[in-house]
Structures are given as structure tokens and as C-alpha cells.
A and B are shown apart, each in its own frame.
Chain A
Amino acid sequence: MLQESTAERLIQHARARGADFAEIYVERWKKRNLRLLDLEVQEATSGIETGAGVRLFFGTQVVYAYTNDLSEANLLEVTDTLARLKGEAGQVDARGAGGLDFRGSAPAGLHGPQLPPDERDKRWRIERLAEADAAARVGPAIKKVQLYLIEWDQEIQVASSEGVWNTDRRVRTRYVVTAIAENEESMQTGFAGPGLSVGLELFDLEPPAVHGRAAGEQALTLLRAKPAPAGPMPVVIGNAFGGVIFHEALGHLLETTAVARKTSVLTDKLGEKIASEAVTYVDDGTLPHGWGSSEYDDEGAPTERTVLIEKGVLKSYMVDRWGSLMTGYRPTGSGRRQDYTFAPTSRMRNTFIETGDTPVEKLFENIEFGLYAKKMGGGQVRPGSGEYNFAVQEGYVIRNGRVEEPVKGAMLVGKGPESIQRIVAVAADRKNAPGMCGSLSGAVPVEVGQPHLLISEIVVGGEG
């Protein structure tokens, strides 16, 4: 990718033009997508994406440029353009003259693939996906099965005027099964989409037969679901993707992007009790082979396990370089970006509520009437207040401590900072699930997660 001498010249060039901090990020991706409908190939594409991003700080003001002409002459010109655009700060500075002492380290391969993408041909992939197709057809009502396979192999390199010189390789693989069921009354879809920072061994770690069947069964369940009840009630939220609510309605409020501008209601609350004691909330970029894991972040800082909330008390925010400059908090290896076309900002990695000690059955025991939100769907959040509404993908009525008939159309409505105080019990079955999180610096892979947990009251919007 980039020569050390080129990076050094670039950084010195930027410093000489008045930048307080200069960073260059280079990456190269190989991407492959495969989409099958009823095992017919609908789409098969492959691509190489590559480019560099130059980011300069003038105080806390940031300018950014990207290009995919990686020649030294062009990179120097891009840096010049940026400094010129910044204008008034463009005086020559003696700091540009000194040598840079890059402290580099190679990645240890903590999340590396066992079965790299190139070791199997495309027919092999179709055969493995066919196992999911077969398993998804759990009944005659399943009319169509769509399979989508995504493979990413990303190499990055970051160098900065603070001597950072790091490289990382991130291989990620994910497949998504969508089963479509239809009867006289309606059409419903069920899905399952495992993904990890691994190669093609994903098909062994997350067997297609298991996830295919789960998607098929979910579609059938929804076909017989009745309209959901409405009103305030106790809600048990399922594990794994159930964590999406707190990702959106709590996690985003703890990123310095929101905290530094004081647009988050959780600004300046370190050390305060903001959640129920049952809650420990963690953002862990080091989780082995996690969908959102990496050895270094996109600013070249080592990732870490950051405890955000410990037994209800706010312990840390998620801090990138700019956020650290603005707030004084220690960086947490949270600077992330979709690709070279975005400057990094503070982002989540694998964020979850830690496992508790209540047996799952106990959560339901004392509920006279409530909702079991087994699988969550999508939703929206206002970042300032944490107000959210989320659709329940697969839900059931709880009556007298028992999980009864399936319901559809349920929406959970509330405020993140309020709901987190109402978590009364957390089970011991934490699981994570992969997703894509969209924000200022683009869409990045993240895991959300939690054990089953009981919230004493959430407003359920439904049809009934």
C-alpha cells in the first residue's frame, strides 16, 4: 500500500502548511456479493475498492480529502489543496522540519480467517447456501427463499503525525436467509442473517441448515400471528438482536460525536447512576471474530473492551480522536468509518448488555399480561432525547407467566434513558447478532447483543 517514506513526506508537508495533526489512511477491499432466489443466481458481483483519506486538524477544525489515485505526487497535491482550502492557517511552520518516528506494529491476526475466501470456488458457496434453502422450506406455505452472501476482505493502513503506523486486515463474511410464506390472507417474511469476522468457515460455525430453518419457521409463525395488543405493559425482550433497541437509544447517546456537541441527554453524566443496577453495558472491539471487531480502529488506535455502564453507573463514553480533543476523555479505540470516502467518527463496535443471573423462565413468571418481543425488527431514534420506536419482528402474548399466541404489528415506543432504568431482571443467556450501523461516518459492521431481559413497562403500539 503506502511506503513509509511517502507517509512521512505527506505528514511533514501537511504540518509545514499549518496543520496541528495530520493523518493518512489507505485501504483496499475485495468484495463479493451473491444473491440467489429459489437457488437461481440473480446477482453475482465482485469488486476491488481502494483509496486514501487525508485528514488534517487545525485546532479542532477538521478538513478531509479522499482519492483513489495513490501516487505520491497526487497525495501531496491533495494535501496542498486541503491546506489551501483551509486558507488563513496556511503559513509555513517550522514543525514540519523534524523527522517522524513511526511506531508501527503488525496485526497479530486475532480475527483472521481459517478458510480464506479464495480457497473455495463459487459453486461451493452455492452448495452451502442450498442447505439453507432446503432447511427453510419447513412447510408448503413457504413460497420463496432468497439467499444473500456478502464477503469482505479489507486491508487498512494508518499513519499520523503522532507516530502512528498501523495496519490491519479484516475479513468478514455474512449470509442472510429470507423465507417468504404466503396463504390466502397475507404474505410474511422470516429471516436469519449470521455474520462474523471470519472467512468461509462461517458455514461451519453458523450452519445454514439451522439458520434456514429458523427463517422458515419465523415466516410460518407470522402467518398465523394475530394483531398485537396495545398499551403500557411489561415486556420481555429476546436476546441477540433484541439488543438493537439499546444500541440505537442508548449506545448512540454515548458516542463523543453526540457528547462533545452536547446534543446527547447523557452529556456530562460520568459517575452518575443512569441505569438500573442490573445493567452492565459494554462496547467490546476485541471480541474474538466478532462482526464488529478489529485489532486497530480506523485511526490506528488499538481497540479495547470499554465498559460503558457498570451496575447502572456511567463509566465511559466511546471516544475518537476529535472527541477526545473536544472533551478531554481518553480515546477508546472507537474511531471508525465505512471506507476511505468518510472521515472517522466515534462509533460502536460490539455493544451489549452483560449477562445477568436470572434464569430465563423466571423473567416470565410474574407477568399477568405482557409481550414477549422474541425477535426485534428495525426502528428509529431521535438522538437528542433517545425517543425510539421499534417494530417487533416476532412477538408473543404473555399471559399468567406463559408465552402464548404469536402477534404481529407490535411497536415498542419509549425513551432509551428511561427504559434502561426499568430493566428489572437480566437473564444468563447473552448472545450477540450482527448488523450494519449507519451514522456520520457511513455504515459500519457492528454486533448488538443482550441476554433475555424484563422491562417493567414499555408502551406497546399495536393494532388491537
Chain B
Amino acid sequence: MTLQEAKTYLLERARERGVELEALATGSRELSLQARERTLEEITAAERGGIGVRVVKDGKTGYAYSEELSPEALDWVLAEAIENAELQSETGGFLPEGRPLGKSDLLGEGLSAPVEEKKRMALELEEGVLRDPRVQQVGAAIYSEREFQTELTSTRGAEGGYRSGYAYQMVSAVMAEGESLKQGYELKVARELFALDPASTAQEFLHRTGRLLGARDLKSGRYTAYFEPSAFLALLSAFIDLWSAKQVLEGKSRLAGRLGQKIASEAFTLYDDPNHPEGLMNAPFDAEGTPTRKVYLVREGVLESFMHNSVTARKLNAESTGHAQRSYKGVLDVGPRNLIVAPGEGVTLQDGVLITDLMGVHAGANSISGDFSLQALGLKIEGGEAAYPVENFTLSGNFFELLERIVATGRELEWSVMFLAGASPTVEVAEVAFAGA
């Protein structure tokens, strides 16, 4: 059976058994080409797909999934999901009212190119990096692409699908100058492979990692922190669950009860835009068929919304914001698509530290208390200029306080998918505690 046929099959069986059912199916395709020592060392071509159901019986919810699409396997899935539902003691489960969602193609011909072109992307990336004599060792130079087909259907009337995907280039390598060694990486993602240019990705890597060579220790103290876009997104990724209504319900978000209140500086606006023209994770509807829309989480410092699926919305007396997330193997959750820190009036570098890299983001941050202590790399900024690179320091503080000390945001957005998918400008934060030598 195809995923499409499996969807219909499950729907019919569920109706026969008198249970509500939602089926989410995903098919994915991947191609990965890794260059090493000027040949393609690793080649992986992959296809994977499966279907996962959420059933509701007598107000109890259960899940099961299959990658095999035979009638026996699908019958087993339905039986297991019902049995799993019956084990729950919590009642009040439901499926949201659905509607036709249509078919859309967000990818188009974005990944269409001869394979020779794709191989060249990996080989030229490695070559571009090796051209610099300071490069000691290239760990990986990769071209990779992913394509997804997502299908949703439910006994409550949801029905639709969409195709999406992206291509990326990734290089990681060690650079050396004198005694100084730095390992860095560069990742470029785009919805169209022709937006990727191996030569400029290599150049960017050499610039970003090369500028950190010869780093000195940083003197402990309080400095203005200028977060580069990817570093700010890395920090944000450790705390994004504060905006999850699921975390609010479980008593794990300190933002609970603060809707409409000022929680950050006026310079800070944060929104999720699942339909952004440059978005890498765009989707017309979420994992339970709620149409997606632009949702402000924080507008000019004021907490405006949490991220909801239909279940958290009902429990908190709110509306779903279209943030349901689920893979076919998993259970219903909440999460962002393209999280965007709004650009502002611009940042003027004066004195402080430009943070280029944050390490150990999840181990070094406590999303409940907001406390963080993170190892970082960066450049010391003096008199508006990059004076010298710095290392062996941590920046620490509390995320809630940091939000209040945001001074300004840059004019230009830079996209990333490393820690979370989204975009940010450079973010200037006053009075951050740095512990160094």
C-alpha cells in the first residue's frame, strides 16, 4: 500500500470500530555525499516512511505506528493503539474538528539537479577549505538534501498533505596558527540547492574560524555582549520550552500566568512564522491539521502568547496556535517552526565581547530557573573594532534578566537550523557577567 492508501484504510477500520482516529504519515528521502581527501568517501541514499495513529476511545488517547503498510500491520497498529488508550486513566481526550487542508508543494524543483552537480558541491567545499594552509584537518565536508511528504487525515474531517525539503552544506575542520588550534564548523541551509555556493561557504568557514586563532584569555568582568545571530539562537533554543503550553501545564515554565505582562526589554520581539518566504521549516498546517499562522510570542517586551496544540489549548482555555508537533513514531507535543527574533534599528559595536559560539548549551542551562553558565568563544570589541579573539571563558546569568537587558537588535536576519530552525539579527545585551582568567 502507499501511504495515501494506508491512511484511507486506517480511517475506514476506525469508523467500523467506532473510535476517533487521526493518521499522520511521513515519507522522507535523503541523499548525503561526504568528501574526504578529495574523493567521495561516504555516500548514503535513503528513503523512509511510516504512518502513526492517535486514537481516542471513550475519552482516552492511545498511539501506535508502522513502517510496514500491509493490512495485517495496519490492523495491528489500530488494535495496539486502542489497547494503549485503554490503559490510560486520564479521560477528556479528543481529536480537534478538522477540515480539508488541500495539497501543497513548498519545495518545487528546489532539489532538482544532476547528481554530478551535487558531488561537486561536496568536493569543492572540501577543496575550498583545504586551500588555506592554516587548515590542518577536515573532519567532514558534506552536501546533503532532505525531502518530506507529510499527509494527515482524521475521522473528524482533517485531510491534506504537503511536500517540503531543503539542502545543506556542512564543513567542519581544525585550523592552526602557531600554538593556537581551533575546531569550527559552518552550516548553510537553503530550500533551493542553487542558493548554496561551496566557494562562499568555504570562505565563510575560513573567516569565522580563522578569526578566532591566537585567542587570548578574557579578563573576568561585566561586558556588553553582542550575540551573533547563530549564538543567540543557540541560547534561545535552551529556553524555548518556556513558551510551550505543555510545559506551562506541567508547572515547568516560569512564564506561566504572565500573559500581557512585560517580560523583556522593548527591543525584544519574538515570533514564529511558519509561512515565511525564506523559512526553512515552513508548513501550511500543524501535526493535527490546525492551519499555521504568524504568532507573536513576545511583542516589544510583552508576553503575548504561548505555543499551543488543541489539547493544551482546551486545558488552558485558549485557542490552538497551530504548534502541534508529532512524528509518526511519537506522541503529540508542541514546538515552533521558524522562530524569528525581529530585526530592529541596528546594533553599533562599541566596547564589549562579540559572542560567536556557545558550547554545551543544553547541559549548561536550566530551563526552569533560567540560570545559565555557558562556555563561549568570541572577539573582544574595543572602540567599535574587533581588537582580538578571546577564549576560555563562560558567560553566565539568568535568561529572564538577560531578556530585560537587551539593548538593541541588528537590521539583518540570518537563518540557521543548528539548534533551532529560525532567524535572528545580532543582539546586544548590556552588563553580562563573563568569567575568564
Contact = CB atoms under 8 A, between A and B. Distances in A.
A53 to B, nearest CB: 9
A181 B380 CA distance: 46
A46 B80 contact: yes
B249 interface: no
Given A44-B62, A68-B48, A50 B43 contact: no
Contacts of B331: 43, 45
Nearest to B86: A122
B232 interface: no
A68 B50 contact: yes
B368 interface: no
A79 to B, nearest CB: 10
Nearest to A54: B45
B317 interface: no
B41 interface: yes
Contact of B47 (A43, A48, A69, A84): A69
A46 B77 contact: yes
Interface string A60-75: 0111111111000000
Contacts of B80: 32, 46
Contacts of A85: 33, 40, 43, 45, 115, 119
A139 interface: no
A62 B44 CA distance: 9
A122 B77 CA distance: 15
A341 B45 contact: no
A28 B72 CA distance: 14
Interface residues of A, number: 35
Interface in B306-338: 329-331
A1 to B, nearest CB: 11
Contact of B66 (A47, A63, A65): A47
B88 A50 contact: no
B83 interface: yes
A439 B3 CA distance: 32
B59 to A, nearest CB: 14
B41 A61 contact: yes
A48 B43 contact: no
Interface string B237-254: 000000000000000000
Nearest to A44: B84
Contact of B67 (A51, A61, A84): A51
A47 B65 contact: yes
Contact of B64 (A40, A47, A65, A81): A47
Interface string B28-52: 0000010000011111111111101
B74 to A, nearest CB: 9
Nearest to A78: B45
Interface in A30-62: 32, 34, 40-41, 43-51, 61-62
A140 interface: no
A255 B43 CA distance: 22
Nearest to B116: A87
Interface of A: 28, 32, 34, 40-41, 43-51, 61-69, 78, 81-82, 84-87, 121-123, 126, 341
